[in-house]
Every structure is written in C-alpha cells, then in structure tokens.
Amino acid sequence: MSASTTIATKVYARKGGKGKTQALYVDDGVYGSFNNVVYDHATPTPVRLASRLEQLNGNDKQREQIPTAVFGPTCDGLDQICALSDTKLERVEENEWLIFEDFGAYTHTASFVFNGYTHIPKKMHCISSVALGVDSDMTDDEVTSQNFA
C-alpha cells in the first residue's frame, strides 16, 4: 500500500478538563475514512494541525504529550480511532483540527454510511500551497478552502 491521503478531522468535543488524559471526538470514524482500524488493525497517529503548520514554519516547540483517546461521531462503542493506552498527543481543544497522514488509496472506498453518517466530504480543505500550485508568498487568508458541495 502506498500513502495517498492525509485525513483532516475536526474535534467537535473534548473530555479531560485540565487532567493528564483527554478524549477527543472527531467528525469521521471507523465507519468512514478510518475503516482500516477495524479491517486492517491499523493504528492511526493523530497530529494537531496547528502543530504541523508551526513545524513547517520552523516554530517547532515541544509541548507536553498526554494519553489521548480519539472517537468517531456515531456513538457506537466500536467507533474508536485511537486508544488511550497507545496514543499520546498534546492538549487539543474543541474546533481544532487533527490530521492523520499516510493513508492509502482504499481509505474512502471501503467506508459506508452508518447511523446517518456518511464518509463523503462536503468540503475539502487545502493546507499546502505546494499542492495548490500557488505562490508561496500568499497569506493564509489568500489560500482559502474550496467548497465542493
């Protein structure tokens, strides 16, 4: 399998307060793009998008990593993307984005509709000026998301 996709998920809820663990709830799950967790026993690695962008801009400061569980949106107990025992991530707040890099070509084709949730994105967000083929001097405001709905 070859890496062809980076998945971006929005954190819509967080549990954990100021404690030493956190549970994050995102808008995609094992019935969507993360079906490889069930079918292939994959162990996705989340990265806070803001941290990746800081790293790319040369501002790579280390933050405390805490045990983190990541869950999909379906309210099904099976819809867990990352286990607390296997995942460490810096503190993430609601409305932040997580990215999961290096997903394969069959990521979306094996997903399906479950409990009213579909894997078909209504928006695609481009976060790379290189991928867009735009001038690297453009500001973040000039490089906007494209709505494909």
Among residues 13, 75, 120, 138, the one annotated as catalytic is: 75
Establish whether 75 is a catalytic residue: yes
Evaluate the CA torsion angle 142, 4, 66, 78 in order and state its sign: positive
How buried is 146 (Cβ within 10 angstroms: 0-12 exposed, 13-18 middle, 19+ buried)?
exposed
**SS3 of 55-116:** HHCCCCCCCCCEEEEEECCCCCCCCEEECCCCCEECCCCCCCEEEEEEECCCCCCCCCCECC
The one-letter amino acid code at 116 reads G
Task: Copy the structure tokens of residue 111.
Answer: 């997903």
Residues recognised as catalytic: 75
